[in-house]
């Protein structure tokens, strides 16, 4: 009897949770290729850091993938798969040049981790191959996504409420919009360089 009661309470809780989670979808236009859309953190709200550690590879004189989106607190591993020496550094995080950092040099096949504790776009560079470019976009919440190549996106499982949603694209100015999430919500962005 006690067990049945607990199961019923769990189902009710899940149903109520589902009822309060919505989506934000839309399109990012004005730019070509992949963009990033993420939800800014509501005041006073924090989120536990994920344990997953994405890998960014340096291969063929390129950062692969070119853009990685992570939540604040995520540790990213930087792998060197090339038979030439590389390094990884970034001049700023979210435009803040005080957060510049250089990871140094490591040989082929090895990884070097870094935990991103500040939100914003992190331009990845290699100081011996200046044409190499990549980005880590650090989202302050777990609600983020990359658009497809046509600019369409959808972020799911966002608790109902009022948020600020930001769109980012390489080389373009960020654009933020207030969005009230209640079920399916829409937010389109038009970015410009």
Partner 1 sequence: MDTRRQVSLFFAFVLAVILLTGSSYAIPAFSRQYGTSCTTCHIDFPKLNDFGKAFKDAGFKFPKDDETFIKIPPVMLGAPAQKDMWPHTVFPGTIPGLPAIGLRFNQFFQYTSGNANNYNIAGQSTGPYIPRTDFQPGYFSIFTAGNFGSDIAFWVDDDISVSGANANGSLGDGYLRFVNVSRFFKLPTDSLTLKVGQFELDLPFTQARAYDISPYDIYSQANIGAVDPAYPQQFVNNSFTLAGPGRGIELSGGHHYGGYRYAIAIVDQNTSNSAPTNYPNVPAPAGGAGYFSDSNFKDLYGRFAYRFNLERDPTSRHEVQAAGATGPRDHTYLTLGSYYFYGRSVQRTAGFLPDGTTPTVLLAREPFYRVGGDFDFNYRQFNIYGLYMYGHDKDILPFTPTDFAGPTGFISGSPATFSGGFIQADYMAYPWLMMIMRWDRVQSRADFLNEAGSTNFFSPVGSTRNRFTPGAQFLIHANVKASFEYAYRPQQALTYNLNGQPMNVFRTNTATGALEFVY
**Which C-beta is closer to partner 1: that of 90 or that of 168?**
90
User: Shortest approach of partner 1 to residue 100 CB, angstroms?
Assistant: 11
Closest to partner 1 by CB, 112 vs 146, is 112
Residue with smaller CB distance to partner 1, 59 or 115: 59
Q: Provide the minimum distance between the beta carbon of 61 and partner 1 in the complex, in angstroms, as a whole number.
A: 5
Q: Which is nearer to partner 1, 35 or 58 (CB)?
A: 58
CB of 75 to partner 1, least distance (A): 21
Residues that bind partner 1 (CB under 8 A): 59-61, 82-87, 89, 102, 104-107, 126-131
Shortest Å distance, C-beta 180 to partner 1? 45
Tokens 């800014």 belong to 40
């Amino acid at each position: 009897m006690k067990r049945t009661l607990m199961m019923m309470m769990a189902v009710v809780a899940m149903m109520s949770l589902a009822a309060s989670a919505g989506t934000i979808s839309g399109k990012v236009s004005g730019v070509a290729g992949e963009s990033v859309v993420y939800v800014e953190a509501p005041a006073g709200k924090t989120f536990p850091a994920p344990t997953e550690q994405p890998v960014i590879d340096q291969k063929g004189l390129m950062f692969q993938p070119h853009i990685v989106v992570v939540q604040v607190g995520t540790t990213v591993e930087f792998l060197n798969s090339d038979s030439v020496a590389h390094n990884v550094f970034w001049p700023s995080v979210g435009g803040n040049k005080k957060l510049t950092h250089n990871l140094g040099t490591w040989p082929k096949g090895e990884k070097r981790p870094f935990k991103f504790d500040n939100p914003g776009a992190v331009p990845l560079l290699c100081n011996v191959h200046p044409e190499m470019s990549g980005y880590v976009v650090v989202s302050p919440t777990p609600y983020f996504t990359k658009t497809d190549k046509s600019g369409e996106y959808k972020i799911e499982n966002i608790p109902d409420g009022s948020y600020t949603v930001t769109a980012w694209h390489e080389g373009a100015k960020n654009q933020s919009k207030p969005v009230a999430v209640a079920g399916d919500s829409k937010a389109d962005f038009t970015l410009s360089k």
